[in-house]
Amino acid sequence: MEMAEAEEAPALARMGAFSGTVRLVGVSGAAGETMLLWALGQPAAQPQNAFVRQAAHSLTLEACGRRLSLLQSPSSMAAPGVTGAVVWDSGVVLAKFLEHAVDSGRLALRGARVVELGAGCGLAGCVAAHLGADVLLTDLPDRLKLLRKNVDLNARDVRGSARVAELVWGDDADPDWLHPPPEFVIGSDVIYNEEAVDELLITLRQLSWPHTTTIILAAELRNDVVLECFLDAAMADFQVGCVEQDEWHPEFRSTRVALFILVKKPSPP
pLDDT of residue 122: 97
pLDDT of residue 80: 58
Residue 233 pLDDT grade (very low, low, confident, very high; cuts 50, 70, 90): very high
pLDDT, one tens digit per residue, over 99-147 is 999 999 999 999 999 999 999 999 999 999 999 999 999 999 999 999 9
Distance separating alpha carbons of residues 25 and 32, to the nearest angstrom: 8
**Under 8 Å between Cβ of 8 and 32:** no
The total number of residues written for the chain in this structure: 269
pLDDT, one tens digit per residue, over 193-212 is 999 999 999 999 999 999 89
70 in a structural domain: no
**Under 8 Å between Cβ of 261 and 213:** no
Omega before 180 within 30 of 0, i.e. cis: yes
185 in a structural domain: yes
64 in a structural domain: no
Instruction: Supply the range of the domain harboring residue 93.
Output: 19-51+87-264
**Under 8 Å between Cβ of 27 and 33:** no
pLDDT of residue 78: 62
- Helix spans in the chain (H): 2-8, 29-41, 89-103, 123-130, 144-154, 194-207, 224-234
b (16+ CB within 10 A) / e for 92-119: bbbbbbbbbbbeeebbbbeebbbbbbbb
pLDDT, one tens digit per residue, over 133-187 is 999 999 999 999 999 999 999 998 999 999 999 999 999 999 988 888 999 999 9
**Under 8 Å between Cβ of 192 and 222:** yes
8 in a structural domain: no
Distance separating alpha carbons of residues 2 and 39, to the nearest angstrom: 24
pLDDT, one tens digit per residue, over 63-98 is 999 999 999 998 876 665 566 789 999 999 999 999
pLDDT of residue 48: 85
Please tell me the total count of domains within the chain. 1
12 in a structural domain: no
The CATH number of the domain holding residue 223 is 3.40.50.150
252 in a structural domain: yes
